[in-house]
Structure 1
Amino acid sequence: MGALKFSSLSEQVYAYLRTEMINGNLTPGSTINIGEIASELGISKTPLRDALIHLELEGFVTIIPRRGVLVNELKISDVKNAYEAVGLIEAFIVEKGIEHITSSHIQELQKLNEIMIKDIQNNDFSRIFETNLEFHSVYVDSSDNELLQKFILPIKHRLYDFPRHNFIPEWEMRNCEEHRQFIEQLKKGNGKEAGSILRDKHWSYEYQKDFIYAFYKKNVKMPD
């Protein structure tokens, strides 16, 4: 990795560290050596510390004074809390802002859902998370509440922070079917029912629990 040459170094260092997590180079329970990374990137420790503070606020790391930086493990309780939070926020956005969701938004949702279905049928999961995030961003970004938009994305990233290889096609297809049901309610202008699908089914920890346990069992700290 060469030296970073960007105007906003802390943001670029943040993106670099997140990429290292996604690629499996920074794993849960490992420590981050500030001096080594600063040297590798050719930067001072200040933008690196700023990036680490950002990551700590989002729950990715814990800064331990005079001891270093620990990459946090994801617990099943974290997954549960994330699902509940995302479900509530997305449902609120759709129910309160249904008038902001236009036919072009719906067309984009249909296109992305079709891409996901085809990828699953082809057993290609290389972009499934990115496409899914893009799907949900279509209607989240239609909201005029920028605070909610900024709040929700780190929670989703926390769910997908480390590499996953135990894809469950049955679960992915069921998610796409829930997407389809959600889109149908949007076409009807029924924000309340569309929100219910998100809150009570798609992002419901209890409804998705069996698949959640199967998906995260190798990478998440489970209850004793």
Structure 2
Amino acid sequence: MEKEEIVNQPTREEVKQEMLNYLQQKYGEEFESQYIEYKSWAQKGHEVMLAFPKKGSEEDVFVVNRYQNGKKYEDGYIGLLMKPTYKGLIEDSLASFFKESKIVLNYKYVYPEAFDKETDFETFKRYANRKNNFVVSIYVPVDRSFSSEQLEKSFEKIKEELKKEISICSLTISCYLEEDYRKDVLEYVLEHPEKSSFPTSNRLFSKYDSWGKIDFDYEYEEGD
């Protein structure tokens, strides 16, 4: 970084406020900054900020990237807005097999600058199915007669349903007896709201599989 650039570079606080202003203008709501990685003579490249909605919580954190001194942005807020739709799809795939479940869905990416609150789910899904790996962890209560063979059969059917909507995924289903599910999952969530995984010592069975791969060569063009 040249001496003149260092002198003219905005401060960390100015960059942070610019990024927050960008989000507010784009989405029509206020945001808070949890953390910012500031570009300087020692940290070249671009700025990265973790932000969350002011009316939400710090658990709703997403990434914002600032490029070329603010000439270009990418952020992950649209991914957060799409989470309830994805969770609904997962719940539908589980309904025939388990009466209750706790779903943890993780995918934290940035999206094209054109993606905003007007972006519909189908447009988002087409992009996500080429660029996002969805990590889906499902926790379910079962009775004592439930077997690993039953989990195997249910898992395969659930996986086939999810593959219709999610092209790249890492899926885990963990089974607990009812009392252990209450203690290790539901009560644990209340005591540790920041956690996205749960104790496994009382887990009866679990099954994992993954499918698809990210298309690193794909570049979004408006209208895709």
The TM-score by the shorter chain falls in which range?
under 0.3
> Larger helix proportion, structure 1 or 2?
1
> Larger strand proportion, structure 1 or 2?
2
Larger RCO: Structure 1 or Structure 2 (Cα < 8 Å, ≥ 6 residues apart)? Answer: 1
